[in-house]
Amino acid sequence: MAVRIVLQQADLDRALTRIAHEILESNRGADGLVLLGIPTRGVVLAERLAAIVGRIAATEIPSGALDVTMYRDDLGRNPVRAPQPTAVPEGGIDGKTVVLVDDVLYSGRTIRAAFDALADLGRARAVRLAVLVDRGHREFPIRADFVGKNLPSSARERINVRLAEIDGDDAVTIDGRDD
């Protein structure tokens, strides 16, 4: 089983900085932006993005966490999952432009669940999606607005996102399964 590094720390920083600029560009500024990360690594990415966007726009960008566990459509097919905390920034999401942030976009099922979860929190003016890695294999008509890296992969391969806050270092790796 070969492990290949796809993004190193510098690549990851560059990708996040580019996404931050793209978010500001598409939103025409920082007004009404709320970044919500999907646990676990999406939350860290959302915090980092909020810091970068805030630095560029010289303002504070609220970021939080949106857990989608209890909205998943595959709960009955897997062992019980422990939910993670949801943390909505003060001011809520009503009328805001919510940017969902996740590490890897794959089937799209997590994002579908996130739409349901978001609807229970309020009515956002618009919902955007930012992901660090898009690996293809979508099972829903969902696409990301902001992508760090497109990584066409085989369903047998495993994409691993490592972030310093959780894993000790920054890297995106791919495990090729030669079987």
Partner 1 sequence: MRHLLSTRDLERPEAIGLLDVAEDMAAVQEREVKKLPTLRGKTVVNLFFEDSTRTRISFEAAAKRLSADVINFSAKGSSVSKGESLKDTAQTLQAMGADGVVIRHHASGAPQTLATSGWIDAGVVNAGDGTHEHPTQALLDAFTLRRRLHGRASRGRGLDGTRVVIVGDILHSRVARSNVWLLTTLGAEVELVGPPTLMPVDTSAWPARIGYDLDAALDEVPDAVMMLRIQAERMHAAYFPNSREYARIWGLDDARFDRLPPTTMVMHPGPMNRGLEIAARAADSPQSTVREQVANGVSVRMAALYLLLSGERGES
CA of residue 93 relative to chain centroid, distance? 17
As beta bridge partners, residue 5 has: 173
Contact yes or no for 112/143 (Cβ under 8 A): no
Token pair of 20, please? 């931050």
Minimum distance of partner 1 from residue 55's CB (angstroms): 28
Minimum distance of partner 1 from residue 66's CB (angstroms): 12
**85 lines the binding site for partner 1 (CB under 8 A):** yes
Contact yes or no for 130/101 (Cβ under 8 A): yes
Q: How many other C-beta atoms lie within 10 A of the C-beta of residue 59?
A: 12
**165 lines the binding site for partner 1 (CB under 8 A):** no
Minimum distance of partner 1 from residue 1's CB (angstroms): 28
For partner 1, the binding residues in 5-64 under the rule CB under 8 A are none
- Among 2, 10, 90, 120, which residue sits at the site for partner 1 (rule: CB under 8 A)? 120
Spell out, one character per residue from 58 to 77, where the chain touches partner 1: x when CB under 8 A holds, - when not: ---------x--xx---xxx
Q: Which of 157, 146, 150 is nearest to 23 (CA)?
A: 146
- Among 4, 14, 81, 137, which residue sits at the site for partner 1 (rule: CB under 8 A)? 81
Token pair of 84, please? 């993670």
Residues that bind partner 1 (CB under 8 A): 67, 70-71, 75-86, 116, 120-122
